[in-house]
Amino acid sequence: SLLRTHSNKSIEEDIYITHVEDPWTFYCQLERCADLNSISESLNNGTQAKSPCGQLFQAGDLISAVYSEDSLWYRAVVKEKTSDNLLSIQYIDYGNTSVINVDQAHRLPEDFSISFCAVSLMVNTCNESCYYVLVRNQGSVYLFSLVD
């Protein structure tokens, strides 16, 4: 895949689409984010001490959080505390968001604080055929089909 940075430099990276917000905005992981597998295993193998923090979370805190679809733990960031017991979070290695109970969150140990693996990308320019694929042919449906 060819990515263009803000400085208009082109770089070539292998990516995996992990979350689609709309036909223009999606998240992906860079293939070189190899540490993610070992982090996921460590978060879910039961040896990591998971001491609940109760209501001590605030926006910007790095946490491990349960994902409701598979009941596994993933790295996340607190976006906001929506009530005494609920947190709005974003999974930092995939890009998707959720609202979870504070009981489903724990402080992220420092040794798990490597760079986020999810990169947010937006379609910046689009010719007529690109527009047709993204909008007329329900591009988000196509992009969703690329996500495992």
The reply to whether the predicted model has a pTM over 0.85 is no
Same domain, 85 and 111: yes
Q: Which pairs count as long-range contacts for 90-94, CB under 8 Å and 24+ apart, including other chains?
A: 91/65, 91/67, 91/118, 92/62, 92/116, 92/117, 92/118, 93/18, 93/29, 93/33, 93/36, 93/39, 93/117, 93/118, 94/18, 94/19, 94/27, 94/29, 94/118
Q: How many domains does the chain have?
A: 2
From the list 95, 42, 47, the residue with the least C-alpha distance to 67 is 95
pLDDT tens for residues 19-47? 777 766 777 776 666 677 777 888 888 65
pLDDT tens for residues 57-109? 899 999 999 999 999 999 999 999 988 789 999 998 888 899 999 989 998 88
Token pair of 138 as six digits: 């329900």
Same domain, 28 and 42: no
Same domain, 65 and 13: no
List the CATH number of the domain containing 104: 2.30.30.140
Answer yes or no: are the C-beta atoms of 117 and 6 closer than 8 Å: no
